[in-house]
Every structure is written in structure tokens, then in C-alpha cells.
């Protein structure tokens, strides 16, 4: 019996039970494909990071004695399409059994089911052995419930997996320390130097160019610094524990003109490619905390655990509960086009300029930049969620649809009508001013709503509330803001709306 086992680019889990034994009759198939580079335009660093990680993974498998067929992107015999590659390998290697790990994207799940239905060989799907939860666990947990509150799901996960628990009670006698995690960064504590990895990306980069893959964004061969092997991912995890965890929670929501990463872990690529499992990340971080309780407070570690045990598993559950309809939702009926400056960073708004330029330079922005700067602006200017989604899916190193889509279309654009968030994440400039030093360095005046140099976020915020007030009329969490809108002087509101229309119609000037 000869087996062909497919490994997709985000299935680099070396701890998977598939690899426990070496079997000469089992061939692992890995392929860099245009099918995967072209479904949306990707940041060059994202393509390089995935291909390099796949190559390192294949080399590791081979060094352990496993049989591997690997198609590089520029190889002449690469059919660039999953179905063609699988069929060709089955014929060429006289395969009797085809096996794959369940993909995390709906698109690939459907494609693999279709491929298997036409194969003459037997086929079988396996779990990826990566997540804490199955695809359906969230759906089962919320069965019969109207509100899918993340906090409820998170508490269940803490109890079920016994993370940061003392018996049945949460460690620190509180489930959530979110309120403590809102400091502005003013250089109070130094930010440690970045960890650096020694890797050569020139070969992969040349092949991507040779294969004419369309990408965007910047890459510097000397500065490329994403971990692309399990060994480097583990180093990044240790680095986070030793250097960044002490202030992770404190500055989780902070933004700063000179600090791109602050105390964020940058572990999302390592986890989303499955080189690291969420369980080992959480367990390592919690163990480190327990060994260093004199230096690290519970609010730092709880903040971090909530992102992974809570949010990451939660958005995956929402994705599988709501797909495929979720990808088409546009509850607020937004239809504007994505501004051209999303591809250049050329805008006078310092917050947008910093967050976009950083995304184009690093293929990374941290959560609050994604949510409260770029996402906030996209929603306030009422951009079509398809365009917002395509940008987010392409630009970030960690963007894979199962996690990108609920975050972008749901949490950030409210296009799902509130399945994921109980109110839209919109704000005027004052929130941005509170959490960053952006406004102090901006062309616009954060205190002004409709003057010549009024902060566009202020104008657009009140205009958004006014345009969507019917939609949110019964949303209690929006009550206070809608009441303020009602009390606004009509002349002032008219001026705001006029200015907001000018911004939306002449967006590239701003």
C-alpha cells in the first residue's frame, strides 16, 4: 500500500502524529503553487515567509528519513494547481491511498472534498492536531444562545483546559484584567532590541520573481526577520517570555510613532503556519509567569492568554459556524472604494500614515493599529468590506482567511451585523490621542470637528453615527453616543456632514 499525504503551506506541525513513524511507503507532498499566491495579491514578505518555512519543514522531514516530494514555485514540472499536482503524483508514484489534514480555509476544504470525490484511490482526512477546539466546538457551546459572547467562551476554555485557574476560581480572583491593560506608552520603560534570525532569503526571492508572482510591499534581504523554522519560532517564544511579557498587558493597546512592535509577541505567523501550537505557547508563557511571579503581574499574562485561548479559538469557531455566508456579509451596506493611499501610506493623517507604512514595510501592524486606526478609518469612510478584506488578507504575514475574515469583516467592519462584536469599533480622534502620540505629530487638529484642519476621524465619526443611526437605534451599547448625536446643534451637524462628504469624495487629498 502506497500513501500520499498532502501538507499545505500552513500545516507545518512537526509534532503531528503523522510523523511519529518513518515509513518508506508514505510520501509527503508539499507544493508552492500559484493557486495559493494568486487568490489575492500578497505582501512579498508573506510569500517568502511561507515558502521558506515550507522548505525548512520539508528539509527537516527528509533529515528524519521521511519521503518528501516538493514542488518549488519556479520548477518547470510544477502544475501550480492543487488538483493537477495531486492527480499527477498519484499516477506517477502508483498511490493507493490519499490523505490530507483538514484545511482551515473554507475554500481549500471545498476544493479538497471535490478532488477526493473524483479520485479513484481511497482518501482520508485527519485533524491538524493544532487548535484547542474542533471546528464545531464553539457552535455547540453557543447552541440556543442569541449572543455569542467571547467572554463566556473564554471562561469555559479557561476552566476546561485548566489555564490560570486555582481550583474552580481564576488566578488573581478575576477572569479579565482588560481594564488594567490600557496604558499609553511614553517611553516609561525601554523596549528591548528585537530578536534576530540568521537566514538567507535570496534564493526564494529570486524564484518568486522568476515565476512572475505579483506581490506588493517591501522586503530587505538583510533585514527579513520572521522565524521560518520551528527552532527559530521556539527562540521567538522564549524571547517574548524573557523580554516582553513583563509589559505585554500594560501596553497592549498603546501606539507610538517610533515603536512598531512595542511589547507584542509577533508569534502569529509561527502559530498560523502551525510551527508552534497555541497550547505550547500558552503553557510556556504561564509556566514562565509562575517561575517569575515577583517580576510579572497576572494582568500581563492573563491579557496574553486571553488572545490565544480566547480570541484565536473564538474567531476560528465563528468562521466555521458562519461560513460560507460570512464572506459575503455587508450589513451596513458600505460601498466606497479603498483609497489608493492604502498601497502607499501617503496621507497627512499621521496615525494612518504610520500604521499603513508599517504594514507595507513589515507585513505587520499590531492589533490596535489594525482595529482602531486602519479598520476604524475604513468603517468610518464606509469602504466596501470586500475591498477591506482583500487588503487585510494580502498585507499581513499572519493573514489566513479563517482568522482574517472574522477579525476584519466581523470585529472591525461590523459587516456581520453584530455576530462577533456587540457594537462597531469606531472612534473619533480622542481615543487615538489617548492611546498614542500620533496626534501630537499630525497635520490635523485632534480637537477640531469641522475646521480647515479638523481631524478627519472626528468629522467622519459623527457623520457615521448620523448615517447609521437607524441601524443602531435598538443597540443599547450605542445609546449614549446616539443620544449625544440627537442633542447636537443641527447647524454644527450640518457642517460636520458637509465636511465628511468632502473627505469621502476627496479622500486622497487627506
The Cα 261–Cα 266 span in angstroms is 8
Provide the grid cell at 294: 515577583
Q: Which is nearer to ligand FAD, 130 or 499 (CB)?
A: 130
* Nearer to ligand FAD among residue 7 and residue 305 (C-beta): 305
Helix-strand-coil split of the chain, %, nearest 5: 50, 10, 40
Q: Please identify which residue in the block is written with the cell numbers 487568490.
A: 39
- Is 78 in contact with 230 (CB distance < 8 Å)? no
Tell me which DSSP letter residue 335 carries. -
Q: Collapsing DSSP states into helix, strand and coil, what is residue 444?
A: coil
The whole-angstrom separation of Cα 420 and Cα 404 is 13
Measure Cα distances from 419 to 60, 112, 308, 408 in Å. 42, 28, 20, 13
Q: How far apart are CA 31 and CA 80, in angstroms?
A: 8
Q: Is 403 in the site for ligand FAD (CB under 6 A)?
A: yes
CB under 5 to 8 A by kind: which of ligand SF4, ligand FAD, none does 412 bind? ligand FAD
For the chain, give me the number of helices (H) and strands (E)? 22, 9
408 lies in the site for ligand FAD, by CB under 6 A:
yes
Q: How far is the CB of 336 from ligand SF4 (least distance, A)?
A: 18
Strands (E), 50-185: 67-71, 97-101, 122-126, 165-166, 169-170
In whole angstroms, how close is the CB of 119 to ligand SF4 at the nearest point? 54
Q: Residues with Cβ < 8 Å from 130, sequence gap 6 or more?
A: 13, 274, 277, 278
Tell the smallest beta-carbon distance from residue 441 to ligand SF4 (Å).
Answer: 7
Closer of 349 and 388 to ligand SF4 (Cβ)? 349
CA–CA gap between residue 365 and residue 357 (Å, rounded): 9
Residue 72 vs 249, nearer CB to ligand FAD = 249
**Is 5 or 260 the residue whose CB approaches ligand SF4 more closely?**
260
> Number of C-alpha atoms within 13 angstroms, CB side, residue 5?
26
* Count of residues touching ligand FAD (by CB under 6 A): 27
Which residue of 297, 310, 456, 481 would you call a contact of ligand SF4, by CB under 6 A?
A: 456
Q: Which of residues 292-351 bind ligand FAD (CB under 6 A)?
A: 307-308, 311-312, 315
Pick the piece of the chain touching ligand FAD (CB under 6 A) from 54-62, 78-86, 125-133, 393-401: 393-401
Task: Select from ligand SF4, ligand FAD, none the partner in contact with residue 439, using the beta carbon and a kind-dependent cut-off of 5 to 8 Å.
Answer: ligand SF4
CB-nearer residue toward ligand SF4: 244 or 442: 442
Q: Are strands 97-101 and 42-43 parallel, antiparallel or unpaired?
A: unpaired
DSSP string, 156-195: HHHHHTT-SEETTEEGGG-S--GGG--PPPSSSSPPPPPP
- Reference 182, options 303, 68, 325, 74; nearest CA is 303
The yes or no reply on residue 398 touching ligand FAD (CB under 6 A) is yes
Q: Which is nearer to ligand SF4, 277 or 458 (CB)?
A: 458
Stretch that binds ligand FAD, among 70-78, 126-134, 367-375, 434-442 (CB under 6 A): 367-375
Least CB distance to ligand FAD at residue 222 (A): 22
What is the four-CA torsion angle of 256, 262, 264, 268, rounded to 10 degrees? 70
d(CA 421, CA 250): 23
With binding defined as CB under 6 A, does residue 396 bind ligand FAD? yes
Residue 432 beta carbon to ligand SF4: minimum distance, rounded to whole angstroms: 4
Residue 357 binding target from ligand FAD, ligand SF4, none, CB below 5 to 8 Å by type: none
Q: Which of 296, 411, 435, 500 binds ligand FAD (CB under 6 A)?
A: 411
Q: How far is the CB of 246 from ligand SF4 (least distance, A)?
A: 29
Residue 403 dihedral angles phi and psi, to the nearest 5°? -105, -30
Beta strand residue intervals within 195-298, DSSP E: 215-216
Region 431-460 residues binding ligand FAD, contact defined as CB under 6 A? none
- Kindly tell me which of 392 and 457 has the beta carbon lying closer to ligand SF4: 457
Nearer to ligand SF4, 89 or 349 (CB): 349
Asked whether 148 and 318 are in contact (CB, 8 A), the reply is yes
Binding flags for ligand SF4, 229-248, as an x/- string (CB under 6 A): --------------------
Q: Of 364, 457, 464, 472, which lies in the binding site for ligand SF4, with binding defined by CB under 6 A?
A: 457
Q: In whole angstroms, how close is the CB of 296 to ligand FAD at the nearest point? A: 15
The residue within the footprint of ligand SF4, chosen from 29, 30, 271, 349 (CB under 6 A), is: 349
Nearer to ligand FAD, 105 or 398 (CB): 398
For ligand FAD, give the closer residue by CB, 5 or 312. 312
Residues 420-449 that bind ligand SF4 (CB under 6 A): 429, 432-433, 438-439, 442, 444, 446
User: CB under 5 to 8 A by kind: which of ligand FAD, ligand SF4, none does 272 bind?
Assistant: ligand FAD
| 216 SS3 class | strand
DSSP 8-state assignment for residue 370: I
What are the residues binding ligand FAD (CB under 6 A)? 264-268, 271-272, 307-308, 311-312, 315, 366-367, 370-371, 375, 392, 396, 398-399, 403-404, 407-408, 411-412
Amino acid at each position: 500500500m502506497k500513501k500520499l499525504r498532502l501538507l499545505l503551506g500552513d500545516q507545518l506541525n512537526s509534532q503531528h502524529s503523522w510523523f511519529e513513524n518513518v515509513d518508506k511507503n508514505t510520501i509527503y507532498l508539499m507544493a508552492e503553487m500559484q493557486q495559493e499566491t494568486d487568490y489575492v495579491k500578497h505582501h512579498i514578505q508573506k510569500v517568502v515567509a511561507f515558502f521558506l518555512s515550507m522548505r525548512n519543514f520539508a528539509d527537516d522531514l527528509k533529515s528524519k528519513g521521511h519521503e518528501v516530494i516538493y514542488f518549488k514555485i519556479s520548477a518547470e514540472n510544477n502544475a501550480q494547481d492543487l488538483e493537477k499536482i495531486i492527480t499527477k503524483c498519484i499516477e506517477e508514484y502508483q498511490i493507493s491511498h490519499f490523505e490530507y489534514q483538514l484545511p482551515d480555509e473554507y475554500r481549500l476544504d471545498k476544493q479538497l472534498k471535490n478532488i477526493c470525490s473524483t479520485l479513484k484511490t481511497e482518501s482520508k482526512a485527519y485533524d491538524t492536531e493544532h487548535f484547542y477546539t474542533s471546528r464545531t466546538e464553539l457552535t455547540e457551546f453557543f447552541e440556543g444562545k442569541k449572543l455569542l459572547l467571547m467572554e463566556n467562551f473564554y471562561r469555559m476554555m479557561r476552566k476546561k483546559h485548566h489555564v490560570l485557574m486555582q481550583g474552580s476560581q481564576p488566578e488573581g480572583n478575576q477572569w479579565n484584567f482588560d481594564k488594567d491593560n490600557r496604558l499609553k506608552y511614553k517611553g516609561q520603560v525601554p523596549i528591548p532590541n528585537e530578536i534576530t534570525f540568521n537566514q538567507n532569503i535570496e534564493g526564494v526571492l529570486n524564484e518568486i520573481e522568476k515565476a512572475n508572482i505579483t506581490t506588493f510591499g517591501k522586503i530587505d534581504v538583510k533585514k527579513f526577520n520572521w522565524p521560518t523554522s520551528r527552532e527559530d519560532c521556539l527562540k521567538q517564544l522564549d524571547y517574548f517570555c524573557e523580554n516582553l511579557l513583563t509589559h505585554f498587558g500594560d501596553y497592549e493597546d498603546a501606539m507610538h510613532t517610533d515603536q512598531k512592535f512595542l511589547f507584542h509577541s509577533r508569534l502569529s505567523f509561527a502559530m498560523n503556519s502551525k510551527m508552534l501550537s497555541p497550547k505550547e505557547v500558552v503553557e510556556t508563557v504561564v509556566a514562565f509567569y509562575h517561575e517569575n511571579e515577583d517580576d510579572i503581574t497576572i494582568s500581563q499574562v492573563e491579557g496574553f492568554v486571553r488572545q490565544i485561548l480566547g480570541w484565536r479559538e473564538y474567531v476560528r469557531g465563528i468562521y466555521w459556524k458562519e461560513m460560507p455566508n460570512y464572506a459575503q456579509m455587508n450589513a451596513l451596506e458600505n460601498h466606497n472604494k479603498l483609497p489608493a493611499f492604502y498601497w502607499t501610506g501617503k496621507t497627512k493623517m499621521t496615525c494612518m500614515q504610520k500604521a499603513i507604512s508599517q504594514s507595507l514595510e513589515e507585513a505587520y501592524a499590531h492589533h490596535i493599529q489594525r482595529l482602531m486606526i486602519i479598520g476604524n478609518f475604513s468603517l468610518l469612510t464606509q469602504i466596501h468590506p470586500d475591498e477591506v478584506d482583500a487588503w487585510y488578507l494580502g498585507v499581513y504575514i499572519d493573514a489566513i482567511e479563517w482568522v482574517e475574515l472574522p477579525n476584519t469583516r466581523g470585529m472591525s467592519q461590523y459587516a456581520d451585523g453584530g455576530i462577533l462584536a456587540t457594537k462597531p469599533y469606531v472612534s473619533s480622534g480622542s481615543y487615538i490621542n489617548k492611546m498614542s502620540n500620533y496626534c501630537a505629530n499630525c497635520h490635523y487638529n485632534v480637537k477640531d470637528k469641522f475646521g480647515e484642519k479638523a481631524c478627519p476621524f472626528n468629522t467622519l465619526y459623527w457623520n457615521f453615527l448620523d448615517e447609521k443611526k437607524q441601524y443602531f437605534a435598538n443597540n443599547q451599547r450605542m445609546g449614549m453616543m446616539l443620544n449625544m448625536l440627537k442633542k447636537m446643534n443641527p447647524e454644527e451637524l450640518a457642517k460636520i456632514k458637509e465636511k465628511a462628504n468632502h473627505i469621502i469624495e476627496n479622500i486622497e487629498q487627506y
